[in-house]
Structure 1
Amino acid sequence: MREHPNVIAVQDALDAAGAHTADDAPSLVVILDEGAHTAAAAAEALCIEVGQIANSLIFDADGEPLLVLTSGAHRVDTAKVAAALGITKLRRATPEFVRTHTGQAIGGVAPLGHPKPVRTLVDTALAGFRDVWAAGGVPQAVFPITYAELVRVTDGTPTDVA
């Protein structure tokens, strides 16, 4: 799985950005024994709190992709986000829309490593954790990173999304 093109793209993006963890170690993609299609499953596999999981959710925002990196401990308030951004129609994207804009499939969408940049919001609830974990391009892949680094490497906007 480490040789999957999506995993390589994510690791290359992390390396190029010089992304690191709270211990100042490089952010490295880790391959889990099984796919983690939910925040709860990922947290269990990593023995961490579900809130430390940075879910990568792609929304269709008036026809444009919007990536919301939200804590696994709660749901995105789409009405709140749409109002804050002046978006008329914000809805969960179809699997085809997600793949078109990220090159990745739902369940493994990473915050980076996409064919081109995607507008990104980063949940401020993730700031309360020393390290957070995000998907690495496929459901079996994840990587650790600090909140500040996640904001930096995604060029994301810290936002209260719940």
Structure 2
Amino acid sequence: MTAAATRAIEVVSRAGVAHRVHAYEPPERHGRERGVRPSYGTDAATALGVEPARVFKTLVAAVDERTVLAVVPVDRELDLKRLAVACSARRAILADPAAAERATGQVIGGISPLGSRRSLQVVVDASVVDHQTVFVSAGRRGLQLELAPGDLVRLCSALSAAITRDLGPG
């Protein structure tokens, strides 16, 4: 693996899937901004000049007793009840940041559905098919992978389901 490569990039490269890697400088948080929860996905969409609906964030959830990756557009919100139903489970909660990083081997803001430390179930929001290509983290902040939705779903062995809702008022 080269210095610029990540496990996610290695996965798509080995599979021979058409993709593009996009690097950008993630904004630094200063002063009052430092306490504000960053929106890494929205930052990526802005930096790359693409619609937020095409940039998908990867959230880590505990679904019953399993760890699941939920891949949702950054302009929508994960609906935990819908995620639980999609996984034939009773309950889903977001994992805390430390647990998310342990499960994936990646840092918050750089978690990719591809190349996790261990094999995890992946559920991708059904809206993924609305786009010719989508962006997901390449496994590091400031690095995005652009690929076809079908390739993303196939490489993750993902379930596709309606697992989001509109963002609430700001």
Interval of TM-score (by shorter of Structure 1 and Structure 2): 0.7 to 0.9
**Structure 1 Cα separation of the partners of residues 82 and 151 of structure 2:** 25
**Structure 2 Cα separation of the partners of residues 84 and 14 of structure 1:** 26
Corresponding position of 2:103: 101
> Would the aligned equivalents of 2:6 and 2:140 in 1 still touch at CA under 8 Å?
no
| Alignment RMSD (CA, Å) | 1.8
SS at match of 2:77: coil
Alignment of structure 1 residues 78-117 onto 2, 5 Å: 78-117=80-119
Task: Give the residue type in structure 1 aligned to 2:111.
Answer: V
**Structure 2 Cα separation of the partners of residues 118 and 139 of structure 1:** 21
Which has the higher Rg, Structure 1 or Structure 2?
A: 2
Identity %: 21
**Structure 1 Cα separation of the partners of residues 22 and 82 of structure 2:** 34
**Structure 1 Cα separation of the partners of residues 155 and 148 of structure 2:** 10
> Would the aligned equivalents of 1:19 and 1:153 in 2 still touch at CA under 8 Å?
no
Q: Gapped runs of 5+ residues in structure 2?
A: 28-37, 165-170
1:31 aligns with 2:23: yes
Deviation of 1:37 after TM superposition, in Å, equals 4.4
TM-score, L = length of structure 2: 0.82
Task: Give the residue type in structure 2 aligned to 1:13.
Answer: V
> Would the aligned equivalents of 1:11 and 1:28 in 2 still touch at CA under 8 Å?
no
Deviation of 1:78 after TM superposition, in Å, equals 0.6
Alignment of structure 1 residues 65-80 onto 2, 5 Å: 65-80=67-82
> Would the aligned equivalents of 1:67 and 1:119 in 2 still touch at CA under 8 Å?
yes
1:13 aligns with 2:11: yes
Which contiguous aligned blocks of 4+ residues in structure 1 show a shift greater than 3 angstroms? none
Alignment of structure 1 residues 130-141 onto 2, 5 Å: 130-141=132-143
**Structure 1 Cα separation of the partners of residues 69 and 17 of structure 2:** 19
**Structure 2 Cα separation of the partners of residues 67 and 15 of structure 1:** 21
SS at match of 2:8: helix
TM-score, L = length of structure 1: 0.86
Corresponding position of 1:62: 64
**Alignment match of 2:53 (pick from 51, 68, 85):** 51
Q: Gapped runs of 5+ residues in structure 1?
A: 21-26
> Would the aligned equivalents of 1:13 and 1:113 in 2 still touch at CA under 8 Å?
yes
By percentage of residues, which structure has more strand?
A: 2
**Structure 1 Cα separation of the partners of residues 119 and 20 of structure 2:** 21
Corresponding position of 1:3: 3
Corresponding position of 1:144: 146
Show CA shifts across 1:19-58 (max 9, x none).
22xxxxxx24322122584222111111110000111111
Aligned residues: 153
SS at match of 1:136: strand
